Amino acid sequence: MITDPQNVNPVKGGFVDPRALMSIRHLEMRARVVVEGFWNGLHRSPFHGFSVEFTEYRQYTPGDDPRYLDWGLYGRSDRYYIRKFEDETNLRCQLVVDRSKSMTYGTGSITKDKYASTLAATLAYFLHSQGDAVGLLTFDERVREYLPPRHKLSHLRQLMLALEKPAEGKATSLTDPLDHLVELVRRRGMFVYISDFLAPIERLEASLLALIAGRHEVAVIQVLDPNELALKFEGASLFEDIESGQTLYIEPAAARKAYVPKIAAHNAAVRRTCEKLGVSYLQLTTDQPLENVLFNFVKERQRRGRPGTVSRNPGRA
């Protein structure tokens, strides 16, 4: 289970400040900055070298690819052996990103949408650099864009372009995209579900369960603005719902008492749902460094005991 990254991350001080990061206009560049920083961090980390996963030797039989012959062993034993590795590109990761209008909310220059896009781009870049196939699905009240997982540079570019489109959805349906994906994706893979989860979650459990049942691995990342957790406003005003346009007269000082427990309960419900299904859950606020996410992501993957699915490019080991 993921613990609060801010408390456990030992290398927090070396990470890029989100505000500085978001000032980089190009999304791919932002992703690259995060991933590079992450690698730099890893070199100093205790997890160095985990990525090359040798499994076994087996005797060469005619028809095998001679590229995989272990010439060193042949030198030592005068026999042909083939080095067998765990398949390094068998991870098919589908990023599911909420592009509804509620995601465009943000205090200061960092909106949740920008943060989530950068996060998705970072993960995509990271996974691509590992040789994994990455796909993207964006949604609001319905599925907007779908790119199937592929390991191609041009595909990554396309994915970045899709993430750079502005969020326009009027409402959020948390379950429809998942139901859609269950139908679309037959091959086993991984889903990273990025949303603010500020919508009714009654059917969320059923939808997640359908994914789990398909033997997919699911990770849920909830992106929130700090203000959404604490309602730190001053003075009474008309609060307008960014999606529906509905207005309410709110005095924050009075409303906060009721609001904070409510949203905490909602988030706890999301978390509980994930725990119940064995889905990894991570809550982020837009003021947290993105490297933490990557760090926690990798750590979580390793903890789950499938290290081979997240491996470094052998060339970089």
Partner 1 sequence: MSFLTPFFLFGALAIAAPLIYHLIKRTTRERTIFSSLMFLLPSPPRLSRKNKLEDLLLLLLRCLALALLAFGFSRPFVRSTAAVEAPTGQTRRVVVLVDRSASMRRAGMWAEASDRALAQARGASPADQFALYGFSTQATPLVSFEEWRNTPVSARTDKVAAVLGATAPEWGSTRLGAALITAAEALADATKDEPAAAIRQIVLISDLQSGAEISALQSFDWPKGVQLKIESIKAKNVTNAGLQLLVEAPDAEAASTTAAVRVRLTNAADSLKDQFQVGWTRPGSETFIGKPVDQYVPAGQARVVNVPVPEGQADLQQITLKGDDEAFDNVVYAVPPEKQQVPIAYLGSELPTAITQPLYFFRNFLKGREGPRLAFDLTARAPGAVSAAELLAAKVIFATELPAGATAEELRRQMLAGKTVVFAPTSAAAAAGLAQLLGLPSVPLTDVNPSAATGARVSAGSGYAMIGEIDFRHPLFAEFADPLYSDFTKINISKYRRLGADAIPGARILARFDQGDPAVVEVPAASGRLILMLTTWSREDSNLAQIISKFVPLLYGMLDLGGAIPAQVVQYSVNDPIPLALVAPAGEAVSVAPPDGPAEAVAAGTATFARTRQPGIYRLTAGARTARVSVNLDVAESRTSPMPMDLLERYGAPGEAKTVDATRESKREALLQSNEAEGRQKLWRWFIVGTLLVLLIETAIAGWTARRNAATVSTGGTTS
Report the nearest approach of partner 1 to the CB of residue 88 (Å). 40
State the Cα–Cα distance between residues 3 and 82, nearest whole angstrom: 41
Let me know if 228 is exposed, middle or buried by CB neighbors in 10 A (0-12, 13-18, 19+): buried
State the Cα–Cα distance between residues 100 and 242, nearest whole angstrom: 10
Nearer to partner 1, 184 or 255 (CB): 255
Nearer to partner 1, 253 or 317 (CB): 253
Segment holding 14, helix H or strand E: none
Nearer to partner 1, 54 or 249 (CB): 249
CA Rg, the chain, in Å? Answer: 22
Nearer to partner 1, 288 or 311 (CB): 288
Let me know if 1 is exposed, middle or buried by CB neighbors in 10 A (0-12, 13-18, 19+): exposed
State the Cα–Cα distance between residues 31 and 110, nearest whole angstrom: 15
Report the nearest approach of partner 1 to the CB of residue 187 (Å). 35
Whether the CB-CB separation of 211 and 178 falls below 8 Å is answered with: yes
Report the nearest approach of partner 1 to the CB of residue 194 (Å). 15
Report the nearest approach of partner 1 to the CB of residue 258 (Å). 6
Nearer to partner 1, 196 or 217 (CB): 196
Nearer to partner 1, 84 or 257 (CB): 257
Sign (positive or negative) of CA dihedral 153, 136, 292, 307: negative
Report the nearest approach of partner 1 to the CB of residue 246 (Å). 6
Let me know if 104 is exposed, middle or buried by CB neighbors in 10 A (0-12, 13-18, 19+): middle
Nearer to partner 1, 20 or 248 (CB): 248
Report the nearest approach of partner 1 to the CB of residue 259 (Å). 5
Torsion of CA 300, 294, 154, 29, to 10 degrees: 180
> CB under 8 Å to 177, separation ≥6 — which residues?
96, 137, 139, 142, 143
Q: Which residue has the tokens 């005797």?
A: 59
The neighbouring-strand residues paired with 195 are: 222
- Tokens matching residue 37: 């920083």
Report the nearest approach of partner 1 to the CB of residue 284 (Å). 15
Report the nearest approach of partner 1 to the CB of residue 200 (Å). 8
Nearer to partner 1, 161 or 254 (CB): 254
Residues in the chain: 317
* Chain positions contacting partner 1, by CB under 8 A: 102-103, 105, 112, 196, 198-200, 225, 228, 233, 235-244, 246-251, 254-255, 258-259, 262-263, 266
What's the N-to-C CA distance of the chain in angstroms? 27
